[in-house]
Amino acid sequence: MGFDFDYEAPLLAPLPFEDFDIGLTLTPKVDKTSRITVRQNKYSVPARFIGTNVCVSLRADEVWVFERNELVVRHPRLAGRYGFRDLLDHYLEILRHKPGALEHSTGLAAARESGQFTDTHDAFWAAAIASRGRSEGTRALIEVLLLHRRLPDEAVVAGMKAVLEAGSVSPDLVAIEARKAVAAAGGPPPVVIAPQAAAVITEPGTAEPAEPEPESAQVISLPQRRPALPPDSRPEPSLAAYGQLLSIQPKGSV
């Protein structure tokens, strides 16, 4: 068998470039609770898909949800029937308008159970409620939870700790401190604005400008403005010829 395979291997077609989808493709509709029903179990999807059909790849141990060709969320597949699996991040846009529903939501319970909603989140929430009231304090927490979409979790938690130590509950300050934590951990460098062009110094009694003294650090400056063009020295055109043309009248004119 081994000799036969060595003989036939060069004659075989190459493997396809695309990965073969091993899941069962389904197109369930998202209900008003931002969930889809797959094999009598419910899974949450982002709230923007409410009322639309999404593409689902049902696999042996996972449920993949796609928006066109982009993977939106991967849920562990539930065993049995009539179960549900919710992610708190999928409901943040709704909870921003209905902050009172956050405390007893299934998404918050799942986030606490998984460890994504930490004691620091609870401390920030309690401080925000004490400072701004229950509704506005909960909205401040939701704004912080939205930061997890674009910043690492540990950076957001570090930002909340720094803001709480400063005696504030501002989500904007949490974002600033979280970005500082990302930079301290070796993240992308901050954006540096190039300084303006250095002035050219002309020594008195000389026609050539003096060269600026070299500095220890390299300075990247914008291109200097082009000098103004010299005035036009050509004589103005004479209008006498145009006057002669205007004085000639065609035949038959009045």
The reported pLDDT for the residue numbered 233 is 55
The reported pLDDT for the residue numbered 228 is 52
The reported pLDDT for the residue numbered 20 is 78
The reported pLDDT for the residue numbered 247 is 53
The reported pLDDT for the residue numbered 231 is 56
- Report residue 118 as tokens: 């930490």
- Intra-chain end-to-end CA distance of the chain, in Å: 113
* Chain-centre distance for alpha carbon 130: 31
Please tell me the distance from the alpha carbon of residue 35 to that of residue 68, in angstroms, as a whole number.
18
Give residue-wise pLDDT tens across range 208-230: 555 545 444 444 443 444 455 55
The reported pLDDT for the residue numbered 212 is 47
Residue with tokens 């004659």: 11
The reported pLDDT for the residue numbered 220 is 42
Contact 125, 137 (CB under 8 A): yes
The reported pLDDT for the residue numbered 85 is 94
The reported pLDDT for the residue numbered 125 is 97
The reported pLDDT for the residue numbered 16 is 82
**List of the chain residues with pLDDT < 50:** 189-204, 206-207, 212, 214-226, 242, 245, 253-254
Q: What is the pTM for the complete model shown?
A: 0.66
